[in-house]
Chains A and B, each alone.
Chain A
Amino acid sequence: MSRQRNDILQGTLVLLVLKTLSAQGKMHGYAITAHIQRASADLLRVEEGSLYPALHRMEQDGWLRAEWGVTEKNRQARFYVLTAAGKKQLATEQESWARLTEGVTRVLRYA
């Protein structure tokens, strides 16, 4: 299979999840994957296998809060919301991402 791999860089998944939840409010895991894929115009795809461990870790770190709820299709799902600590974390991660990309871009341009 020659499908181009757009696996999300280790570490950026957290940033993407935080950003998604900050923009969209309360969401369940599937909606988060769908949103990232859609928002990145199919360039990025969240690997299901990484998402849930990441969500749980973030919940433990206190960045997210989770609760069970019912979807429109009347299915039981776990909904995640950003906490205040999560908002702060998002700011930090966004800033370091900006620095990283700027650095990488400069290197690509001048090196």
Chain B
Amino acid sequence: MGWYRRFTNMLRPERLSRDIRREMEFHMAERADDLMASGMPEPDARREARRRFGNPSTQQERTRDTDILTWLESLAADVRYAGRALRASPGFAGVAILSLGLGIGANTAIFSLINAVVLRTLPVEHPEELMQVTMGGKEQGTVFTNPLWEAIRDRQDVFSGVFAFSGTEFNLTAGGEVRRASGTWVSGDYFSTLGVRPALGRLVIRADDVHGCPPIAVLGYGFWQSEYGGSRGVVGKTISLDRTAHTIVGVADPSFFGVNVGESAQVYVPLCLRPGLESRSNWYLRVVGRRKPGVTPQQVATRIAAIAPAVYEATVPQRLGVAEKAAYLKNGLNAVAAANGLSPIRRQYQRALMVLMAVVVLVLVVACANVANLLLARAAARGREMAIRLAIGAARRRLVRQLLTESVLLAGLGAIAGIVFARWGTSLLIGLLSRGQLPVSLDVGLDGPVLMFTLGVAMLTGILFGLAPAWRATRIDPQAALKATGRGVAEGHSRFTMGKALVIGQIALSLVLVIGAGLLLGTFRKLVTLDPGFKREGVLIVSVNLQNAGYGPDRYGAVHTDLLGRFRALPGVQVAAASAITPISGSSWNDYIRVDGFTPKSADDALAYFNQVTDGFFAAMGTPLLAGRDFDARDRLGAQPVVIVNETFAKKFFHGANPLGKYYRHVEHDSLGAPIQIVGVVKDAKYKELREETLATAYLPLSQDSVQSAYANYVLRAVGAPSGLAPGVKAMVAEVNRSIALELTPLSDQVDQSLARERLLATLSGFFGALALLLATIGLYGMLSYSVARRRNEIGVRIALGAGRERVMRLVLGEVVRLVIIGVALGTVVAFFSTRVMTSFLFGLSASDPATVIGAAAMLAGVGLAAGALPAWRAARVDPIAALRDE
């Protein structure tokens, strides 16, 4: 009732003040009447009536105040008072705000990343209408061939617009070292379906995407700004993409970054310009449509599934075997919501981000426990203040409100600090993410949802850590509190069980975080120190592309042979070789094989991985040749086809028998290729990623390849640091031909990039684990110092009665040991159940790795004892005379 009235009063102050004035006027009139009745003349009577009332306008205001403003005013007073109370103890306020700032900041940073990667919808018109066409079934494939895309486009009747696109990279330079721009091949309806508007000029339209279209390009807004300084004269100029001049027709809207979250397309080019569109076995296009109004997502999925047989029937790839064709025709189609965009980084990082979110929530809980503990101690210290306020008539509810205002104010200040930390943290996060194979570009600005999240977290934490201490602080018997002088031993005892519980909880949670961090750090260390079967240091990879360098395709082989010779002659190069694929590069090549005497358990059991290399490749990579020989001049095109296999290949297909001199064949659709003889066995080496079970791998000689490739990856083992070779390499290649495109990457960088997610998790969980540990230590230290200060009298008595210093120290340390043991035991149990969710992130150790758990527990125990040592020492040094005299 009171609330409602205050509220309505606030809305109509005019009427209210009129009411009060009328009421007072009536009172004065009545008074004047009475005075006149007793014989006073009218003017005097009126004056006297008014005088008795005091100043009517202040009076009126006073009355009105109680109605409207008391509430707001008392709130303002609460905030002012809280501010003063915090300023009065800057140490307490500083620690609390810093704890909360770190906790809230960590949460805001991780949440803003999750928001950007997972939650936010695409910045286009009605993103909820967008659906991605997939292959359905178990595999959920999302890429299609161009003939498939055209068949889907021509047969579908559920989308008002549908488009295909594919990410790619363009070389911006006309020759020499490659400069890459991220590009997107887009079909004609890409921009119109998404509803993207041009910032300048025009975008790609349907008429641009026809057979034999002229080369045009649309620039991304960011690229236009960085590359052309936002010059409006850019439309009509040309841009060199893979050494072909494309006419720039326009610039896309600044808010549009493409459909793939985390990637920012710099150039959009019509799909019709892509080479090899007719290929029915080249899968690279993703298909997205906007469903027609009135068609439900379920209907879209059903109708799309219905056209699948016709679509696949019309697009059967050439030269398929019977079984392969049957499998191809069995593929289905499905459509799934695509409002949040598509994202390779989402697939890669979603679970990692969720784990991190859980971690930072725990950190925040530890921080809250810290602040709650500080508030408890503070409440105990303010017991007299509370008692006095209760004694002079303050309502308990009022005091709780006052204390809660204080904690919410703390949380608010913590949130401000947190936003600062978060801004700084997110750019760090993006940096960590960007060290992966995909350059990451995310908008992690403080948008509405992120701010709401931070605000919500701050309010929640303020109430969470403030409520219990406030309740405690005001549950006080004023008489007892005022009578007590602080000499009692038992006094305040019960209050401490809550503080102890908080400290135990902190220790337990920090242990969980430290164990988690230990597991992730252990995983990262295992991967970094793992022997991949090659020596990752000291090798420079030089990727060379002869396309558009003025050579005919029949000359590629000769040019590469010439280049290899020159690389080998370069000063500083120990060994040089060429290969089609370098390890941990993301590229791979596999094929079905047939080996006499080997019966595959399933179709995929006969799958082997391949690479093509020149002689010297194993020497350059540091992979030992275990048996047989390396390739040499004998292995020409037309001679007996030969191969070098790894140990796993030999073990798997030849059951450990000596494979030298034996043969295998490639399965080519329904027939078999020529027998290939094994001439060497090399040590196992990782192929696609460090985590993999070593794959059965065969290395074919580049010299026996009938197709001359424009591309080759040279691996140069350097005498010194691989980067030292770069100038010589560039100069040498330029001398041969200025138009040859090349890219230089140290092998160690390439391997490092594959560990981006592991590095992110290890770095952040390590940081957060340390943070939680620090917060728990502060909590333990604070609680103990306070407890020692409270028990100063008691300790003084003990010492006076002859207790030795060590005994007193043991008294305090015993307390520490008890708290730490309970906390560690609890934490170990919680960790045992919770670290299981991380199993998929771990490598080389289990989720309950004993060494990690014991190490973490020992670390926590050590830190806990260290935190307790200072208060214990202080307790032992209590001067009994001073302590007992002190009232």
Contact = CB atoms under 8 A, between A and B. Distances in A.
A associates with B: yes
Interface of A: 28-30, 33-34, 48-49, 52-53, 56-57, 60-62, 71, 73, 75-78
Given A30-B31, A48-B54, A75 B26 contact: yes
B66 A56 contact: yes
Given A56-B67, A60-B2, A29 B53 contact: no
Given A53-B63, A56-B66, A75-B26, A61 B2 contact: yes
A30 B2 contact: no
Contacts of A48: 27, 31, 52-54, 59
Contacts of A62: 1-2
A57 B54 CA distance: 20
A46 to B, nearest CB: 10
B61 to A, nearest CB: 10
B19 interface: yes
A53 B53 CA distance: 12
27 contacts: A28-B26, A29-B26, A30-B26, A30-B27, A33-B27, A48-B27, A48-B53, A49-B54, A49-B59, A49-B62, A52-B20, A52-B23, A52-B27, A53-B63, A57-B66, A60-B1, A60-B66, A61-B2, A62-B1, A62-B2, A71-B26, A75-B30, A76-B22, A76-B26, A77-B26, A78-B19, A78-B26
B475 interface: no
B29 interface: yes
Closest 9 CB pairs of A and B: A30-B30, A49-B54, A48-B53, A52-B63, A77-B26, A78-B23, A30-B27, A60-B2, A53-B63
B337 interface: no
B29 A29 contact: no
Contacts of B23: 29, 52, 77-78
Contact residues of B: prevailing secondary structure: helix
B468 interface: no
B6 interface: yes
A77 B33 CA distance: 15
Nearest to B5: A60
Interface residues of B, number: 24
Interface string B288-307: 00000000000000000000
Contacts of B19: 78
Contacts of B20: 52
Contacts of B22: 76, 78
Contacts of A56: 63, 66-67
A52 B63 CA distance: 6
Given A28-B26, A30-B27, A60 B6 contact: yes
B429 interface: no
A32 to B, nearest CB: 10
Among A33, A52, A62, A77, the one with the most B-chain Cβ atoms within 10 Å of its Cβ is A52
Contacts of B26: 28-30, 71, 75-78
A92 B31 CA distance: 32
B318 to A, nearest CB: 87
A34 B27 CA distance: 11
B24 interface: yes
Among B6, B34, B53, the one with the most A-chain Cβ atoms within 10 Å of its Cβ is B53
A29 B23 CA distance: 8
Given A53-B62, A60-B5, A75-B29, 20 more contacts: A29-B23, A30-B31, A33-B27, A48-B27, A49-B54, A52-B27, A53-B63, A53-B66, A56-B63, A56-B66, A57-B66, A60-B2, A60-B66, A61-B2, A71-B26, A73-B33, A75-B26, A76-B22, A77-B26, A78-B19
Contacts of B62: 49, 53
A29 to B, nearest CB: 6
Contacts of A57: 66
Interface string B55-68: 00001001100110
Contacts of A78: 19, 22-23, 26
Interface in B9-58: 19-20, 22-24, 26-27, 29-31, 33-34, 52-54
Contacts of B33: 73
A8 B59 CA distance: 18
B4 to A, nearest CB: 10
Contacts of A76: 22, 26
Nearest to B1: A62
Nearest to B49: A48
Contacts of A29: 23, 26-27
A71 B20 CA distance: 17
B437 to A, nearest CB: 67
